[in-house]
Amino acid sequence: MSERLSGRVALVTGASRGLGRAIAELYAAQGAAVAVLDLKEHWAQTVVDGIVARGGRGIAVGCDVSDREAVQAAVSRTVNELGGLDVVVSSAMWNRYEPIADIAPETLARMSGVGFDGIVWIIQAAAPHMSAKGASIINIASVSALKGMKNALLYCGIKAGVGGLTRAAAVELGAQGIRVNAIAPATVATEGVKSMLDAEALAERAARIPLGRLGEVEDIANTALWLASEESAFVNGQMITVDGGLANGIL
């Protein structure tokens, strides 16, 4: 089977673990050169070392996506070292679940800075460098953008905002041949999620999903691969739920 991203250059944020790492590794396995972005470059380097050991190509870039200048520098480095930019995935997120009464200004600033502002800065910096042929921007949203959830006011609001900016960017950038879409997962059993939710809470979430299980990182990575490929060439401005049917019910 031919590599679906052969000759392409991808940039993935939040790529040292979880969804971002799974997407970066799958893209590399499918022939893309990948810029692995994360807050600390040595975290990203571990992922790149694995990619290179498997015969792939990539670079590690330390970047706080809430910092506009840092994002611009990261995109420039990607273009200069890897030779272009075709696919961008914004997976970085900083999250805290807590009651409305406990939300502090610094929590709001950090969550929105990474989860919303960071996507704006990535799109702004990347779009001028993206080729018209097959260019794809993919934002990781959440099924929580569609349904409310206790102790998740900021998370639900930010992810709903990701859906809105995805649609707006799709309309504005479509004329340049750049597609912009979002993926809205249900709970995915990443290490980060497991660190925030105990076994009982995870089991409760799985029980609410019609397919009877939590998502796996591969479920999201495979969707991101499809959105990056020519197979989705006429898909633009969509928020695709990958949730086992959860959004059809009540969270």
Distance separating alpha carbons of residues 251 and 81, to the nearest angstrom: 44
CA-based nearest residue to 193, from 228, 144, 238: 144
Q: If DSSP codes are grouped into helix, strand and coil, which group holds residue 207?
A: helix
- Angle between the N-to-C axes of helices 217-228 and 18-29, in degrees from 0 to 180, rounded to the nearest 10: 50
Q: In whole angstroms, how far apart are CA 90 and each of 55, 58, 202?
A: 24, 17, 25
Name the catalytic one among 155, 161, 180, 217. Answer: 155
Distance separating alpha carbons of residues 80 and 248, to the nearest angstrom: 44
Residue 155 is a catalytic residue: yes
Distance separating alpha carbons of residues 73 and 79, to the nearest angstrom: 10
Sign of dihedral through CA atoms 115, 9, 63, 68?
negative
CA-based nearest residue to 77, from 36, 45, 120: 36
Question: Could you list the active site residues?
Answer: 155
